[in-house]
Amino acid sequence: MKYRNPKEMSLLVLFTAMFFPLLFGIMSLIGSRNPMLNKRYRRIRKF
């Protein structure tokens, strides 16, 4: 994927930078509420 203008690239970087912590926050919330899923999410966090 090639981006013609730098504005698109910076927007994409900003979106991913904001999206990933949000995703991990939701995952940790689900993991803390469900003890069965907690072990699975701990493995993902080690990456």
Q: What is the pLDDT of residue 35?
A: 63
Q: What is the pLDDT of residue 26?
A: 84
Q: What is the pLDDT of residue 41?
A: 59
Q: What is the pLDDT of residue 2?
A: 64
Give, for all 47 residues of the chain, the pLDDT tens digit.
Answer: 565 778 888 888 888 888 888 888 888 877 666 665 556 656 665 55
Q: What is the pLDDT of residue 34?
A: 64
Q: What is the DSSP string of 10-33?
A: HHHHHHHHHHHHHHHHHHHHHHHH
